[in-house]
Amino acid sequence: MRALAHDFSGVVHLVTALLALGFGTLVLAREKGTRLHRITGYMYLGSMSALNGTALLIYRLFDGWGPFHYAALLSMATLLMGFLPAFFRMRNWIRWHVAGMYYSVIGLYAAFVSEIVTRIPGLPFGLMTALGSTIVMMIGVILFNKFQKAWLQHEVVNREP
């Protein structure tokens, strides 16, 4: 475990990343608008908040502020973009919720792939991080554009009052 997480912040970061991956996948895969969807969504929100918070505390890689800190801020922005409109039932909240949460989870998948490929010995860190993230995000954008209309219609039809 020490090789994966060098201190307490790293351990919390790792555990919350795994939880967020699980909850995020469930939120995307399961029926929308149900009580279980909301509970799982709140678990995703909590784990992602802790994950991003600990990301801002990790400085070992660059000995200070680095590109992953900006990625954590972007991750928080997509998370809030998906959560706040739904929570406050703002105008067009379903559209914002679907886009924000979807891109939040896809960004998490991109970070996960980058984390895996950078641990393969002999591969260049920067190139593999950029390549892994870019491929996952491109696939995510293609799928979002393909299914967004159906997802939005499904959200409107299947949500509980």
What's the rounded mean pLDDT across residues 97-105? 96
Asked if residue 24 lies in contact with residue 104, where contact means CB atoms within 8 angstroms, the answer is yes
Burial state string for 26-44 with b = 16 or more CB within 10 A and e = fewer than 16: bbbeeebbeeebeebbebb
From 1-5, 136-140, 146-150, the region with the lowest mean pLDDT: 1-5
d(CA 60, CA 39): 34
Identify the domain containing residue 134 by its residue range.
Answer: 8-158
If you count DSSP H runs as helices and E runs as strands, how many of each does the chain have, helices first?
Answer: 5, 0
Q: How far is CA 49 from CA 8, 52, 75, in A?
A: 16, 5, 9
Q: Say what percent of the chain tops pLDDT 90.
A: 61
Query: What are the angstrom distances between the C-alpha of 132 and each of 25, 39, 50, 135, 153?
Result: 19, 31, 23, 5, 31
Structural domain includes residue 142: yes
Would you give the distance in Å from CA 129 to the centre of its chain?
16
What is the percent of the chain where pLDDT is above 70? 89
Q: Are 33 and 47 in contact (CB under 8 A)?
A: no
38 is a domain residue: yes
In a domain, 91, yes or no: yes
Mean of the per-residue pLDDT values of the chain: 88
Q: What is the pLDDT of residue 161?
A: 45
Number of domains in the chain: 1
Residue 153 located in a structural domain: yes
Distance from C-alpha of 136 to C-alpha of 131, rounded to nearest angstrom: 9
With H, G, I as helix, E, B as strand and everything else as coil, classify residue 67: helix
> Which residue type sits at 136?
V
Say if 2 falls within a structural domain. no
Express each pLDDT in 38-73 by its tens digit.
999 999 999 999 999 999 987 766 777 878 889 999
Considering the domain boundaries, does residue 1 fall inside one? no
Helix (H) or strand (E) holding 57: none
Is 14 among the domain residues? yes
Residue 160 has pLDDT above 70, yes or no: no
Is residue 19 domain-resident?
yes
Coil vs helix vs strand at 59? coil
Please say if the pLDDT value at position 36 is more than 60.
yes
The token duo for 52 is: 């991003």
